[in-house]
Amino acid sequence: SFTPRTLAPDYFERTHLLRAYVSENYRAAVILLQGGEHVYLDKFAVLDEAQGEGLGRAVWQVMRDETPALFWRSRHGNVINHFYYAESDGCCKLPSFKAFWYGIEDFAEIEACVEFCREKKPTLMDSSLSDGKKQAA
């Protein structure tokens, strides 16, 4: 099941937006950042009530058509990981997450992308916990 999460309090202060894709009525969104040489997928979100409508796939496809190379990370157990496996050219499993990519073939570049994922500070907080005890994701 999906665990509700909220953005870290300093998300907008430390995030330098490259591009954003937002569907009509804000039901799906993709947030892209510059992650070294390549574009980094920072957020991909679809409202619960919009899931299963194909809206997420539609937003993803527009983003993918305009982004020939991309990398991102996802927590183990994320319900969307099956989609990420299908959409990626590769995946590196790390202790707390998986790093995915497509359109990147040079191993040194892939290694730099995985390292970017490893070093990036968490930007989501577990909203099911009380404010004083929120966990970073």
Q: List the pLDDT tens digit at each of the 137 positions of the chain.
A: 345 567 777 878 888 899 999 988 888 899 999 999 999 999 998 876 666 667 788 999 999 999 999 999 999 999 899 999 999 999 999 999 999 999 999 999 999 999 999 999 887 776 654 444 433 44
Q: What is the CATH number of the domain that holds 16?
A: 3.40.630.30
Q: State pTM to two decimals.
A: 0.84
CA 69, CA 83: separation in Å to the nearest integer? 17
Q: Report how many domains make up the chain.
A: 1
Question: What pLDDT was estimated at residue 128?
Answer: 53
CA 121, CA 14: separation in Å to the nearest integer? 10
HEC states along the chain?
A: CCCCEEECCCHHHHCCEEEEEECHHHCEEEEEEEECCEEEEEEEEECHHHCCCCHHHHHHHHHHHHCCCEEEEEECCCCCHHHHHHHCCEEEECCCEEEEEECCCCHHHHHHHHHHHHHCCCCEEECCCCHHHCCEC
Q: Chain centroid to CA 77: how far?
A: 14
Range of the domain at 50: 5-133
Question: What pLDDT was estimated at residue 15?
Answer: 84
